[in-house]
């Protein structure tokens, strides 16, 4: 028969191997205050984990919705920038044409408003 590889005291919480069999020992405390402390600690920890779980779930939803909104806004902004560039190019072409007309004119050019002034 094989001897145990590791001898642990009976109150130790852990695992040990004896004769090829894995054993698990639990700590058994006879003091009621230790059990009460661990119960309160576990309840508090569970409440904290519960709060963090829901906060992380809400945060992930908010991040996803903000991402979609930002994608949409970026698309609109890119379209607006492209429109401004096209408008600036059209204005430059129109200005060049007007400058050519002004430079090639032999007569006087009068610029009037719609009221004739």
76, pLDDT greater than 50: yes
pTM of the model: 0.43
Q: pLDDT tens digit string along 20-29? A: 454 455 555 5
Element (H, E) at 15: strand 14-18
Q: How many CA atoms lie within 13 A of 101 on its CB side?
A: 9
Q: pLDDT tens digit string along 5-57? A: 444 444 444 454 455 454 455 555 556 566 677 777 788 888 888 888 888 88
């Amino acid at each position: 028969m094989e001897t145990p590889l590791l001898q642990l005291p009976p109150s130790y919480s852990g695992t040990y191997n004896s004769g090829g069999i894995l054993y698990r020992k639990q700590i058994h405390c006879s003091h009621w205050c230790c059990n009460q402390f661990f119960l309160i600690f576990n309840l508090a920890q569970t409440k904290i984990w519960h709060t963090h779980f829901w906060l992380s779930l809400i945060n992930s939803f908010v991040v996803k919705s903000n991402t979609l909104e930002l994608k949409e806004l970026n698309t609109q902004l890119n379209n607006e920038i492209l429109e401004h560039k096209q408008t600036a190019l059209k204005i430059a072409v129109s200005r060049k044409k007007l400058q050519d007309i002004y430079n090639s004119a032999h007569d006087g050019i009068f610029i009037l408003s719609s009221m004739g002034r």
